[in-house]
Amino acid sequence: MKKLQKYVVITIFAVSMLFSGTALAALPGEAGAIETAKANAATLLAKGKYSDAYDAYMRLLREDPEDDAVNLGLARAATLYGRHNQAIMAYERLVEKYPRETALYKEMANSFMALGDRVSAERALARLRLLDTNVTQEDMEKALNRMDEQYSLLLVRGSLRAGLMYDSNANQGPSSNRVSLGNWNLTLVDAREVESGAAYFGGNVDIARRFARDSQWWVVGDVQAQIRGNFNNDLAAQNSRTSLWARAAAGLRHLSSSTLVDVRMKAEMFDYELFQHVSAIGPEATFLWAVTPSFHLITRGNVEYREYSRAPERKGYTYAAGEYARLFFGKDNHSLLFGARYIGSSPEKRDYRYDSWEGMARLSFNLPYGFEVSPFMVYAEEFYKGPATALESEKREDEIWRFGSSIVYHMDKNWDIEFMYQYANRNSNSAIYEYDQHLTSIGIAWNF
């Protein structure tokens, strides 16, 4: 590719001097104007303005169809703009001049796959294999499958997981049944924390359907669920021995080379023993901007209406908005995700309304032998509009810490072993909401 890059920077003036015996010399200022136009076209391409870049390179191609920089820029702009036939013609002109440049065959194969022409894509990669003996037939098939998937109209991804866990405080209760609320010292029945082992089973399916083969618009949806069964029978008295969480959502997504916009309508439900449940429905949105390939900004927001089957005074709207940044680093593509969000709630009863903020950070390390380690930390504060109980006079305020780590061992492309530990601590000016919790789980996941 170094040889190709050398020719990319050759100016029109130099070309005219080389061929002065058979071609007319450029007019004064013409070479500089063309170079400026080439620079402008490259800038449009870098900014993601693919339509404008494609038009600019097509104008330049008419001026000089043999210019290497113009052909390379046109090939890439045409690919990103969805003009794959033009891209292939530009790549063919380049490989005719530079038959040993392996990168050109990879890009040309991608354009063939965008047109659904796998046979021609195989031919392009076969030429690459002749130049690079390190590329095996298996590598070529994997590359073609990835390209085919990239332009597939329908994508379906999901996982199923099951495992065991230990929870030191399965009911999130205080450390003792004896609590002080305002000026009252009370003994509450079955309020104290209850430890328990548990089994869990869960799964999720994500579906995306592209409008057309080279469209940037998708119809998207997801379905998720998790069931947990605690082993300690003491939890039956609180109707919390088993729990179920489920979610379904559908919406639209727009995906470009540097941005993602995803808007969905979701419905969620959390249930304890089919006795009491919380349901929620509302829109959610995500905007991701890849500032650079290794630095992303992510904006998320949602509004939902919640119903409580056995606490109608808590029903009402909950809303949240957050900003996050994700940084990829190192040759193994480690990542750091950090950010903060605001959460508000406005149920019918004023005392249950609150404003909250939450900050979080998560590191992910891709280690040798298929291991992935992800330590995390979350800190949040909640400020309520009224006291927690009728016996207290101060407005309720809570402070929450959560930290821990997950460890995943990728046995192969479909099977994972998952381990997770989390410690949670909630401090509150109301004793019934103070608790500590240690949660440990181990399980297996099948990904498809």
> What would the CATH number be for the domain defined by 2-150?
1.25.40.10
E-strand spans in 256-294?
259-272, 276-292
Domain boundaries for CATH 1.25.40.10 within the chain: 2-150
C-alpha dihedral (349, 235, 425, 266), degrees to nearest 10:
-50
Q: pLDDT tens string for the chain (448 positions)?
A: 444 444 443 333 333 333 333 333 344 455 567 778 888 888 888 887 888 999 999 988 888 888 888 999 999 999 888 899 999 999 999 999 899 888 899 899 988 988 888 899 989 988 888 888 788 888 888 888 877 777 778 889 999 999 999 999 999 999 999 998 888 898 888 889 999 999 999 999 999 998 987 788 999 999 999 999 999 999 988 888 999 999 999 999 998 878 999 999 999 999 999 889 999 999 999 999 988 889 999 999 999 999 999 999 999 999 999 999 999 999 889 999 999 999 999 999 999 999 999 999 999 999 999 999 999 999 999 999 999 999 999 999 999 999 999 999 999 989 999 999 999 999 999 999 999 999 999 999 999 9
Q: Residues spanned by CATH 2.40.160.40 within the chain?
A: 154-447
Architecture per CATH, domain 154-447, reads as Beta Barrel (2.40)
Cα–Cα distance measured from residue 226 to residue 445, given in angstroms and rounded to the nearest whole number: 13
